[in-house]
Amino acid sequence: MVLARPRLRRYLSSEEAPRFISDLAAQSTLMADPPGPHAAVCRDPDDDYLVALATISGADAIVTGDLDLLAVDPKQLSFEVITPRQFVDRLG
């Protein structure tokens, strides 16, 4: 689990992580990965399925620290790509 990584301890304690995941899951909808091939929009072709998934699911945003996803031209997308910090700031 990414939230268990030591570098994230400064943002979220190991005690807070399960509650955060639970709260986030309660507000989320799980979707199956879309069948390929996927349009090439990312510098890293392994990320193109995430863009396809966000598009077909009508997602508002992808929350990521992945620089390849963050570098995608927003004009190509029907959703935002934001950092975890931006996401937390929006949650208030």
The average confidence (pLDDT) of the chain is: 89
3-state secondary structure of 80: strand
What is the chain's pLDDT, residue by residue, as a tens digit (92 residues)? Answer: 677 777 777 777 888 888 888 988 898 888 898 999 999 999 999 999 999 999 999 999 999 999 999 999 999 999 999 998 898 899 87
Q: Are residues 16 and 39 in the same domain?
A: no
Looking at residue 1, its pLDDT comes to 62
Q: Are residues 63 and 82 in the same domain?
A: yes
Distance of alpha carbon 43 from alpha carbon 65, whole angstroms: 14
Distance of alpha carbon 6 from alpha carbon 3, whole angstroms: 8
Q: Are residues 26 and 46 in the same domain?
A: no
Q: Are residues 78 and 42 in the same domain?
A: yes
pTM reported for the whole predicted model: 0.76
Q: Are residues 51 and 85 in the same domain?
A: yes
